[in-house]
């Protein structure tokens, strides 16, 4: 379950690294969103988690537009990025910022 101390750390890391990203929360869903420019293109990025399951469940990564159609999980809702990390999600160490980094790496490779 999301604790205020963890949220404060997440917020600080995102703001220091991507100051244009905004925090949001709607009920149990929460996350960060903003725009990134990669390979000359601008992408809208949303990193979304559930407060009741975070940090034990990795947040999902949503991008618009999709640079290609093969790396997306389509399970009835909006498609989210299917990706491989260099390191597996570790609830005690991984952050929303690491999800943004994964998405940027993906965009550099496929965007």
- What pLDDT score does 104 carry? 95
9 — pLDDT class (breaks 50, 70, 90):
very high
**42-95 per-position pLDDT tens digit:** 999 999 999 999 999 999 999 999 989 889 999 888 999 997 766 789 999 999
**20-35 per-position pLDDT tens digit:** 999 999 999 999 999 9
Statement: the pTM of the whole predicted model exceeds 0.85: yes
Q: What are the sequence ranges of the domains in the chain? A: 4-110
8 — pLDDT class (breaks 50, 70, 90):
very high
Coil, strand or helix: which one is 31?
strand
Tokens describing residue 48: 């979304």
CATH number corresponding to 4-110: 3.10.110
Distance, CA of 94 to CA of 87 (rounded, Å): 9
Nearest in space to 81 (alpha carbons), one of 53, 100, 103, 65 = 103
């Amino acid at each position: 379950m999301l604790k205020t101390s963890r949220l404060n750390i997440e917020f600080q890391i995102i703001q220091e690294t991507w100051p244009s990203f905004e925090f949001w929360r709607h009920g149990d869903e929460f996350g960060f969103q903003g725009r990134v420019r990669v390979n000359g293109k601008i992408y809208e990025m949303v990193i979304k988690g559930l407060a009741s399951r975070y940090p034990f469940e990795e947040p999902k990564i949503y991008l618009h537009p999709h640079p290609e159609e093969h790396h997306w999980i389509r399970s009835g809702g909006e498609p989210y990025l299917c990706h491989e990390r260099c390191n597996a999600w570790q609830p005690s160490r991984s952050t929303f910022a690491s999800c943004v980094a994964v998405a940027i790496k993906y965009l550099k490779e496929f965007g």
